[in-house]
Structure 1
Amino acid sequence: MMRKPKLLRLLFAAGAATFVVACAGAATGAGHSSSSTGTTSGSGYSGKATTGQAATSLTTQNATTPVPGEGPKVIRTANLSLEVRNGTFDSAYDNLVNTMLDLKGYVSGTDAQADTGALRSGTLTFQVPEASFQEALTRIRKLGTVKQIHVGGQDVSLQYVDLQARLDNAKAQRDQMLTLLQQAHSIQDIIAVQTQITQISLQIEQLQGQINYFDHATAFSSISVDLREAAVTAAAPDTWGFRDAASAALHGFVYDIDYFLVGLGYAAPFLILLAFGYLAWRWRRHLAL
């Protein structure tokens, strides 16, 4: 007759421990969403539940304890504004893509404008392995003139350690609930234990999802490149006036020729009559001799 009260006390203790794990996981998620570039967040917790002759202890690793075999977890990002010569947008874009492929990266977003007769621009966002991050920046900067560059990093090492500790605790709690399920005999007890197992399993999936995100975000760095063609620079003004003087002299010469030709056209009939008159006078003079 004492078995059922004992089982109920175990369920109550396990439920309380599950609530602590859920609250801690929510706190971690909130800390992650509110963190900014270059900041870290993390926390630890411990819980203890005792029931009669059985005692269950939930402890977590200290947030400052490093994960064996792993270094700092840093999410690296970079944003560059790159200017290339007018008419070289296509070749610069192809070089950018080839650089990404050479470094074993992949495109995560692209937005290119290719209007004919206008300056062309586009944005390419891609992911490269974290080990190739600096090499990628060096090679990209050689493709054109860097107008702006911003490099950021978010250290999530403490959050990562904390999430792993919470995941281990949740898995241990699920194993304990599976043991209790084997001891349950009534339908009511079985349903209560299965409900707790479902909640803990959901918590495990959420924690594992956050860990998987951090694993990918720290293994690959994000680089966004704003590529645009440079506008054609206007020629410098002629402060000495030589260009204006030469242009004015050429225009004056052309105008003089124009006026001469126009005047010659008007005088042509009279010149023809004078020529005929002169020839007639010469002919009559020749006959008189």
Structure 2
Amino acid sequence: MNLKLLFLWFQRGLAIVGLAAIIAFVGQNLFNEFSSVSTSSVVGYGGDLQEAVMFDSVASSEEKSFRAPSPERYLYDEAIAAEVDQKIIKTGSLDLVVDHADERLTAVETLAQEKGGYVQTSTIQEHEDGTLTGYVTIRVPTDVFNATMEELKGLAIVVERETTSAEDVTEQYINLAARLKNAKAQESRYVEILDVAKTVEEILQIESALGNIRGYIESLQGQIQYLDSLTGFSTITISLSEEPVITVGGKEFRPGTTVKEAVQAVVAIGQTLVVAVIWVLIVGIGIGVPLAFIIWLGWKGVTRLRKR
């Protein structure tokens, strides 16, 4: 009797455990199904939400790479490349010796405005010997860069130093434009995802991603505008210096300029003499040799006639 009762209670216990296991299994499946339904609208976009969360770090690293990008990381878009003209940054500098630095400084500023440019910086200072030194940086449209350099040299007594440089940034410009195009496409996708987001957490994540990518877009646009400024306007730096002036008998005497003019005159005379020697040699050989040959033939003919 006791064994039968014990066996009966054992059967009931197994039934209760089995029922509990069935209830737990069904509950787990319902929970998983509910979670799947609640997130399907976001997951259906191929994981863009996770990508949006990670975008901040990616955008920051790409933004830092603007100054020294790795060539293998450059993006290239044929459509953009076909529309973009060659982008070249031109810069120049001149060290000029002038008669009056203050007047020439004003002339440089006027020239910059006439060329459609502007003065970026301008300073002038007086030394103990009474001479003036001026420094001015101007920016002029790139298409008048060479003409402006020539006109600036015309303001000087002597051009002590002239330097120019040109940097091609076309590839870098196309890279930035391609990244901007991709970033705007990404922004559009995030806006679409935001429209179907259901929970507060999803909305906050997508809005955060939108803020990050919009900041990245603004950064790219700023870099493109900066390159447009550098390539659209060339920078020229001019140094203006005066020579010490000695007044003798009421007249100004500039020894430095006189010495330089004398050296230039010696060089010019030397060049003239070298040119004259080259002309004499080439013309003398070209005409003298044939003429001497003709005279020799004539002399030989006359000699033979006399012998007969």
The two structures share one fold, judged by TM-score above 0.5: yes
- Displacement of 1:207 in angstroms is 0.7
Q: Which of 96, 100, 112 is 2:108 aligned to?
A: 96
- Displacement of 1:4 in angstroms is 3.6
Amino acid at match of 1:69: E
Amino acid at match of 1:219: G
With over 3 angstroms needed to count, the CA separation of the structure-2 counterparts of 1:159 and 1:65, relative to structure 1, is: farther
Question: For the Cα contact (< 8 Å) 1:129–1:221, is it kept in 2?
Answer: yes
Q: Which runs of 5+ in 1 are unaligned?
A: 32-40, 46-59, 237-289
SS in 1 for 2:82: coil
Q: Deviations over 1:192-237 (max 9, x none)?
A: 100100111111111111001001110000000000112332899x
Q: Which of 53, 75, 86 is 1:72 aligned to?
A: 86
Q: How far apart, in 2, do the equivalents of 1:172 and 1:24 lie?
A: 17
Matched, 1:161 2:161: no
Q: 1:199-214 counterparts in 2 under 5 A?
A: 199-214=212-227
Q: Which of 163, 166, 177 is 1:150 aligned to?
A: 163
SS in 1 for 2:149: helix
Q: How far apart, in 2, do the equivalents of 1:130 and 1:42 lie?
A: 27
Cα RMSD between the aligned structures? Answer: 2.5
With over 3 angstroms needed to count, the CA separation of the structure-2 counterparts of 1:44 and 1:92, relative to structure 1, is: same
Q: 1:34-183 counterparts in 2 under 5 A?
A: 42-44=71-73, 60-62=75-77, 67-85=81-99, 88-114=100-126, 118-144=130-156, 145-183=158-196
Matched, 1:192 2:195: no
Amino acid at match of 1:23: S
- Displacement of 1:15 in angstroms is 3.8
Q: Deviations over 1:81-126 (max 9, x none)?
A: 00013xx223222221221111011010111114585111110001
Q: TM-score when scaled to structure 2?
A: 0.62
SS in 2 for 1:68: helix
Question: For the Cα contact (< 8 Å) 1:28–1:43, is it kept in 2?
Answer: no
Q: Which runs of 5+ in 2 are unaligned?
A: 1-33, 245-253, 260-308
With over 3 angstroms needed to count, the CA separation of the structure-2 counterparts of 1:128 and 1:114, relative to structure 1, is: same
Q: Deviations over 1:139-166 (max 9, x none)?
A: 0011111101111122111110000000
With over 3 angstroms needed to count, the CA separation of the structure-2 counterparts of 1:21 and 1:115, relative to structure 1, is: closer
* Residue aligning to 1:10: 48
With over 3 angstroms needed to count, the CA separation of the structure-2 counterparts of 1:208 and 1:43, relative to structure 1, is: farther
Question: For the Cα contact (< 8 Å) 1:42–1:159, is it kept in 2?
Answer: no
Amino acid at match of 1:61: Y
Question: For the Cα contact (< 8 Å) 1:21–1:166, is it kept in 2?
Answer: no
Amino acid at match of 1:106: Y
Question: For the Cα contact (< 8 Å) 2:55–2:213, is it kept in 1?
Answer: no
- Displacement of 1:79 in angstroms is 1.0
Q: Deviations over 1:228-280 (max 9, x none)?
A: 112332899xxxxxxxxxxxxxxxxxxxxxxxxxxxxxxxxxxxxxxxxxxxx
Q: How far apart, in 2, do the equivalents of 1:128 and 1:217 lie?
A: 10
Q: How far apart, in 1, do the equivalents of 2:92 and 2:152 lie?
A: 11
SS in 1 for 2:103: helix
SS in 2 for 1:91: helix
With over 3 angstroms needed to count, the CA separation of the structure-2 counterparts of 1:111 and 1:4, relative to structure 1, is: farther
Question: For the Cα contact (< 8 Å) 1:119–1:230, is it kept in 2?
Answer: yes
SS in 2 for 1:28: coil
Question: For the Cα contact (< 8 Å) 1:42–1:158, is it kept in 2?
Answer: no
With over 3 angstroms needed to count, the CA separation of the structure-2 counterparts of 1:165 and 1:5, relative to structure 1, is: same
Q: How far apart, in 2, do the equivalents of 1:157 and 1:91 lie?
A: 39
Question: For the Cα contact (< 8 Å) 1:107–1:124, is it kept in 2?
Answer: yes
Q: How far apart, in 1, do the equivalents of 2:220 and 2:154 lie?
A: 41
Amino acid at match of 1:76: K
Amino acid at match of 1:135: A
